[in-house]
Amino acid sequence: MRMWNVKTEILCRQHLLGEHQEMHSFRGTIKKGTSLKGYIEKGLVEVHNIKSRHDELANEMIKRGYNHKTPLEEFNCQKIGVVDSQKNILDLIERCDECKKRIESA
C-alpha cells in the first residue's frame, strides 16, 4: 500500500484506481487498530491526509467519467507521516509508461 500524493491528473487509470483502493485499505487498517508504523517509516502514507487524498482521487475519477460509490468517512488522527511526492513522480516515470506520458504532457 502507498499514497503517491502527486497531482491526480498525472496518474494513469491503474495507479489512480489503485491509490483510491489503498486509501480505503489504510482506513480499514486504522479501524482495526493495526499499526501503520512500517508504512509511515518508509514514507508511504501521511495518515492525516488519507481522507483528503481519497476525496482528491474520487474527484479525479468522477472527472474521468468513472463511477465512485465508496465515500470515506471523516476520522480524527494525529499529523503523522511524510510522503515525498517528487520521489514518487520519479518512481512513476520509471515503473509506468502511461504515467510517464501523462507527467511529460502535464
Each residue's pLDDT tens digit, 60-85: 999 999 999 999 998 888 899 999 99
Q: Which amino acid is at 104?
A: E
- Report the alpha-carbon distance of residue 87 to residue 83 in Å, rounded: 9
pTM given for the model:
0.95
pLDDT of amino acid 78: 86
pLDDT above 90 (res 52): yes
H or E stretch including 81? none
- Report the alpha-carbon distance of residue 37 to residue 50 in Å, rounded: 15
pLDDT of amino acid 101: 98
Catalogue the long-range contacts made by 84-91 (C-beta closer than 8 Å, 24 or more residues apart).
84/43, 85/4, 85/5, 85/6, 87/43, 88/4, 88/5, 88/6, 89/6, 89/10
Strands of 1-106 (E only): list them: none
